């Protein structure tokens, strides 16, 4: 963790790439016929999956929602920059490391022991809740694996359904998000004709005058974030 902390990551977890094969595959959002590959299918020599977490302050998410053109990519830019620095550090140590967005990042975070998936389909970490963004590195370095969590065991939502109730697209059910109903891809073009959802999101977020919509309501409402 020391090197990852120096480079500005808040969390680090190491998952066994072989573990991914023990669980059902996950469908890719918006591509209902396609499934995420396992790490060994991407790179057979991969020996460790490095899951990097960046803690994001809720206030900044709120600001991003109001700043239409930045969307949520702000944190991903930071994450990506730091991932490249860590990848280069691995290479300096004589190991190969590859940044990937082809492995299901939430499954990887769970298998690296960093939390469980809640009804809002986000990984809830015991300390930071879902106020996190994750990145992945595959490496041929043999690292010590963290104690994995069970992907089939959900986050402790109990009777709470706040994320389902608050969602303007009624997109959340059974621990999954229907991305054909989520207003973020709607604004990206998949449902760009669905002006009602966009207007509703604007009303809820007290904004107006733009087509692009960012939304963090299912994340913002979650009581599992309150451990921070
Ligand atoms: S981001 Fe907004 S619209 Fe999409 S699932 Fe969450 S609450 Fe619903
Ligand atoms: S808002 Fe409630 S139901 Fe949704 S993920 Fe958080 S705890 Fe679970």
Q: Is the pLDDT of residue 187 over 60?
A: no
Q: Is the pLDDT of residue 102 over 80?
A: yes
Span 123-140, average pLDDT: 94
Distance (Å, rounded) from C-alpha 16 to C-alpha 142?
A: 10
Put residue 158 in one of left, alpha, beta given phi > 0 → left and psi -120 to 50 → alpha: left
Which pLDDT band holds residue 43 (cuts at 50, 70, 90)?
very high
pTM of the model: 0.85
Any idea which ligand is nearest the CA of 160? 2
Ligand 2 atom with the smallest distance to the CA of 218 is 1
| Between residues 190 and 80, the one the model is more confident about | 80
Q: Cα–Cα–Cα angle for 34, 22, 53, nearest 5°?
A: 75
**Cα dihedral 31→152→184→66 (10° resolution):** -160
Distance 217 CA to ligand 1 centre (A): 6
Domains of the chain, by residue range, sit at 2-139, 162-227
With CA atoms as reference, report the closest residue to 87 among 52, 113, 60: 52
Any idea which ligand is nearest the CA of 172? 1
Distance 165 CA to ligand 2 centre (A): 10
Ligand 2 atom with the smallest distance to the CA of 122 is 5
Ligand 2 pocket, mutate which of 131, 177, 222, 228 (most atoms under 8 A from CB): 222
Nearest CA to ligand 1 atom 2: 215
Long-range contacts of 36-45, Cβ-Cβ distance < 8 Å, separation of 24 or more: 36/102, 36/103, 36/104, 36/107, 37/102, 37/103, 38/103, 39/100, 39/103, 39/138, 42/100, 42/102, 42/103, 42/138, 43/98, 43/100, 43/138, 45/96, 45/140
Q: Which residues line ligand 2 (CB under 6 A)?
A: 118-120, 155, 157, 160-163, 221-224
Q: Cα–Cα–Cα angle for 41, 118, 3, nearest 5°?
A: 60
Distance (Å, rounded) from C-alpha 76 to C-alpha 88?
A: 18
Let me know how long the chain is: 228
Q: Is the pLDDT of residue 202 over 50?
A: yes
Any idea which ligand is nearest the CA of 162? 2
Q: Of 112-121, 125-134, 142-151, 180-189, which range is least confident?
A: 180-189
């Amino acid at each position: 963790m020391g090197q990852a902390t120096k480079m500005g990551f808040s969390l680090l977890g190491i998952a066994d790439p072989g573990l991914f094969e023990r669980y059902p595959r996950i469908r890719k959002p918006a591509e209902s016929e396609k499934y995420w590959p396992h790490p060994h299918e991407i790179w057979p020599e991969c020996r460790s999956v490095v899951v990097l977490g960046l803690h994001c302050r809720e206030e900044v998410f709120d600001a991003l929602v109001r700043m239409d053109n930045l969307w949520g990519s702000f944190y991903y830019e930071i994450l990506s920059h730091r991932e490249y620095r860590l990848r280069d550090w691995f290479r300096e140590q004589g190991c190969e490391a590859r940044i990937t967005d082809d492995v299901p990042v939430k499954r990887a975070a769970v298998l690296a022991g960093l939390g469980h998936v809640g009804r809002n389909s986000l990984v809830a970490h015991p300390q930071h809740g879902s106020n996190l963004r994750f990145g992945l590195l595959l490496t041929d370095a043999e690292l010590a694996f963290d104690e994995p969590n069970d992907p089939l065991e959900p986050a402790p939502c109990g009777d709470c359904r706040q994320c389902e109730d608050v969602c303007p697209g009624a997109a959340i059910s059974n621990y999954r998000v229907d991305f054909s109903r989520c207003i973020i891809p709607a604004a990206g073009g998949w449902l760009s004709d669905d002006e009602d959802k966009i207007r509703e999101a604007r009303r809820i977020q007290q904004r107006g005058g733009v087509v692009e919509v960012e939304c963090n309501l299912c994340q913002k409402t979650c009581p599992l974030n309150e451990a921070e």
